[in-house]
A and B are shown apart, each in its own frame.
Chain A
Amino acid sequence: MDQTWRFCSIFSTTSQENGVVVGRNWDNQNVGSIIVSHYEPDNGYASVSFSRAIDMGFPMNVGLDDMAKTPYGEKLLVAPFYAYDGMNEHGLCAMVTGINSVKVSPKEDQESLFIGYIVRKLLDHSKTVDEAIMLVGNYIPFDLSLTQINCHFFVSDASGKSVILEYQDNEWKKSYPTKNWQVMTNNVIKDVPDTQLRKKCWRYGTISGLLDKTNGDVNRNEGMELLKNVSQDGTTWSVIYLPNSNEIYFSVYQSWDKIYHIQDL
């Protein structure tokens, strides 16, 4: 990988104790403040999502509570649109991880959307993986500029179904799991054998190896332990989504002994 800081890890599986368990490490560097947004649009589903203050233009060393009282604080209104992962009230989870840059060709008759905005659309308007696939078909994703994207998408729902969505050759490609769990790190998944993915990325191999051993039966606590095992210096937040109970457990900056719990989205 030429973007070595893009180190995120994601998995989805089904456990006996907690039903569907979705885990995600956001790994990066110097992200400053972390914003966890609860958003209830009038025309969509309620959701909780994670964003970074620097993406909204905030320097790393400012307190957002103070900024909210100033005109500058209006930027906080867009926090839900810089969502890199989240879960809605129906248990639909949507998230991204970085990959090497892929060229994108904007089209006049199709809307181009920033990756965080696509995650927002998915959370606002999808209940299931199938609905999510239909929805992304309306959009061309972009990241650093309108002509490139540096990430792929992971979507899962409360039934345990999941899919990895990658935009290649100017169309959305879908990869479904071959087992009852699915893993995504930072290598393109489409048409790449699982054995090769395990060799390419030790985090992919570690997560897959454990899910193999347990036949995917990893409860929320073990899921967080798994995220700890694949965490790195840049791990900024680690979150376990439980779509069947509408709960979220997360830690920030590798504080594994202190887990925050959100319930009742």
Chain B
Amino acid sequence: MKRIVLMAIATILSVSIYAQDISGKWNGVLKVEGTDLGLSINITKTGDDLSASMDVPKQGAKGIPVSFIIYENSILKFEISDADIKYEATLDEENTFFGTFKQGGQSIPLSLTKEEVEKDNVPRPLEIDVSFAKIRGNDTDDEKTLESIVKVRDISEQYATGGLYLMTHYGNLDGPNLALL
């Protein structure tokens, strides 16, 4: 009995996906040679026919015509013949296409969703504001002053012991006095 119920649910889901209208804007991020390239596919349905175009905002490309597109049994296929691009993906229950983007012999995984993808997809690291002690003390007679030295962090022994230091200098320094070194 339990198996019958599960089969019934699966059948309903399948019909639901199959019947879904996929027209609209689908967004994804193509990871190419270490960089993230956001793109959008704009799909239009006219009667039973689909047409589409692609935008790649970072490359200033908008409305690149898709030369072939078909959506059957939850599988989307499209091609942009001028750019030697082919894409094939399957729509899942959460309304995301999972598939492969092919261009010039390269195959890259690409998911498309209707959610807007943020322009900048490079994860933001922790940013730490550091500042120099820019309060000038009394000048020494020869105008050479090292006003402050602040250790920001130790450096791992994996490389070399030492640290990262911020220093503030004022006045007209003489430059390297090689005899000093």
A81 within 8 A of B: yes
A33, B168: Cα distance in complex, Å: 16
- Contact, CB under 8 Å: A221 / B172: no
Q: Indicate whether B105 reaches chain A with its CB closer than 8 angstroms.
A: no
Given A221-B120, A249-B127, A258-B125, do A78 and B167 touch, yes or no (CB 8 Å)? no
User: CB < 8 Å: which of A60, A80, A226 contacts B34?
Assistant: A226
> In this assembly, does A102 line the interface, its C-beta being within 8 Å of a C-beta of chain B?
no
Interface residues on A, range: 35 or more
Q: How far is the CA of A76 from the CA of B145 in the complex (A)?
A: 10
Q: Looking at the assembled complex, report how far the CB atom of B17 sits from the nearest CB atom of chain A, in whole angstroms.
A: 34
Q: Is A68 an interface residue when CB atoms closer than 8 A count as contact?
A: yes
The main secondary structure of chain A at its interface with chain B is mixed
A216-258 residues at the B interface, CB under 8 angstroms: 217, 219, 221-222, 224-226, 228-229, 236, 249, 251-253, 256-258
Q: Report Cα–Cα, A68/B150, bound state, in Å.
A: 11
Q: Which residues of A contact B37 (CB under 8 A)?
A: 213-214
| B143 in contact (CB, < 8 A) | yes
Contact of A258 among B33, B128, B155 (CB under 8 A): B128
- The smallest beta-carbon distance between A25 and chain B, in angstroms, is 14
A149 to chain B, nearest CB (A): 16
Question: Which range holds the interface residue count of chain B?
Answer: 35 or more
The CA-CA distance from A18 to B136 in the complex, in Å, is 31
Given A34-B155, A60-B161, A64-B149, A213-B166 contact (CB < 8 Å): no
Q: Is A41 in contact with B171, judged by CB distance below 8 angstroms?
A: yes
Contact at B166–A206, with CB atoms within 8 Å?
no
Question: Is A152 interfacial (CB 8 A cutoff)?
Answer: no
Interface-facing stretch out of B64-72, B74-82, B109-117, B173-181:
B173-181
Residues of chain A with a CB closer than 8 A to B46's CB: none
Contact digits for B93-130, partner A, Cβ 8 Å, 1 yes 0 no: 00000000000000000000000000010101111111
Interface residue ranges of A32-46 to B (CB < 8 Å):
32-43
Query: Complex: how many Å from CA A228 to CA B33?
Result: 12
The residue of chain B having its C-beta at the shortest distance from the C-beta of A248 within the complex is B130
**Contact A221–B159 (Cβ < 8 Å):** no
**In the complex, A48 Cα to B169 Cα: how many Å?**
10
Residues of chain A within 8 A (CB-CB) of B127 are 249, 259-261
Once the chains bind, are B180 and A259 in contact (CB under 8 Å)? no
Scoring A62, A81, A114 by chain B CB atoms within 10 A of each residue's CB, the highest score goes to A81
